Amino acid sequence: MRKKHGSDDDEVEVDLTPMLDIVFIMLIFFIVTATFVKELGIDVAKPDESKKDKPEGPRKTISLAVTEDCWVRLQGRRIDPGQVSPNVQRLMAERPDAPGIITIEGEAPTKCVTEVMDQMLLGGVAGLSLRTEGGR
């Protein structure tokens, strides 16, 4: 293969096979290790510490408490967790776009808290925050 100096016509054959090998292996690695995140959930955020400590909180929120035996304390009344959604809907009519604050009393189990979270979202609150008594 005689090289002609100064010729524009030089064709250099680059063997692409090793590069293709590496690229394919990397691609297969990433495809195989790609996991599709199956996390389902509800977003939460902690309310400002500067807000008042009482469960009744500032007027622009919908605030309730979940007791240790899975009852809900809303505006001084004890209601069943399944009743939270219609109550919240009613309150939302008075305070549109109000965020929800859930106070977890004592050892209230997670499933009660999440049921109330679910009910509040079904009732239409704008967002949820969780707190414990005493503002922990």
In order, the DSSP letters of 55-91 are TT--TTSEEEEE-TTS-EEETTEEE-GGGHHHHHHHH
For residues 5 and 38, which CB has a smaller minimum distance to other proteins in the complex? Answer: 38
CA distance 7 to 86: 84
Please give the helix or strand (H or E) that residue 115 lies within, else none. Answer: helix 110-123
The count of residues interacting with other proteins (CB under 8 A) is 41
Half-sphere exposure of 39 (CA within 13 A, CB side): 5
113 is a site residue for other proteins (CB under 8 A): yes
Q: Which of 51, 71, 95, 121 binds other proteins (CB under 8 A)?
A: 121
8 counts as binding other proteins under rule CB under 8 A: no
Q: How is residue 4 written in tokens?
A: 């002609």
Nearest approach, Cβ of residue 55 and other proteins (Å): 14
Which of 3, 4, 5, 46 touches other proteins by CB under 8 A? 46
Q: How far is the CB of 5 from other proteins (least distance, A)?
A: 27
Report if residue 12 touches other proteins, rule: CB under 8 A.
Answer: no
| Dist. CA 73–CA 85, nearest whole Å | 13
What residue ranges bind other proteins (CB under 8 A)?
Answer: 16, 20, 23-24, 26-27, 30-31, 33-35, 37-46, 66, 104, 106-115, 117-118, 121-122, 130-132, 136
